[in-house]
Structure 1
């Protein structure tokens, strides 16, 4: 007789919010943050009034109320430098570096 499986939506929901999943999301986000720090551009002290500020401004946060429905564990990597958006996406005068994009593509997976 073949095995049968009946999925429990409540059980899956509990799994997605579990400490185990949250810990894994945190681990992956920390790996992405490490990769982003390695990729981050640093200006020369002669031309940049705050060299290394962008590189040192990566932060990781986690929650169990993430996702579209706020029903799962997530982790987020952010950069708190006020100009982080311009480093990531570029401007009309400066090319985009895509630091977080490249870090997310390179890190976090096993």
Structure 2
């Protein structure tokens, strides 16, 4: 007969809210941010703000409700607050999509 494991749901919930998990989520977010910075496009000679998109990347960790749970969990967030970040990520009719955040998330976060 095999061993059985019955998780303590309250204990798991407390673990997911712990500073230890928050630290790990921030570490993973920083790895993704680092990859995003490395692969971010930099404007050419005609760009009035070359490198501004690359310099704007941020990584944070917050406590947020995730899924169907009523308890907050540590969540790592990577974002670029540039007003044109959406256009760099998804492209426009004139500019091809760079998918910087998608590619960074696929490469990093481990």
Q: Which runs of 5+ in 1 are unaligned?
A: none
Q: Which runs of 5+ in 2 are unaligned?
A: none
Q: Distance in 1 between matches of 2:8 and 2:28?
A: 27
Q: CA deviation at 1:2?
A: 4.9
Normalising by structure 2, we get a TM-score of 0.91
Q: Distance in 2 between matches of 1:76 and 1:31?
A: 11
Normalising by structure 1, we get a TM-score of 0.91
* RMSD of aligned residue pairs (Cα, Å): 1.4
Q: CA deviation at 1:72?
A: 1.0
1:88 aligns with 2:71: no
Specify the alignment match of 1:98 in structure 2.
99
Q: Distance in 2 between matches of 1:32 and 1:66?
A: 22
Q: CA deviation at 1:30?
A: 0.2
- 1:36-51 to structure 2, matched below 5 A, reads 36-44=36-44, 46-51=45-50
Q: CA deviation at 1:64?
A: 2.1
Specify the alignment match of 2:78 in structure 1.
77
What is the total number of aligned residue pairs between the two structures? 108
Q: Distance in 2 between matches of 1:26 and 1:38?
A: 18
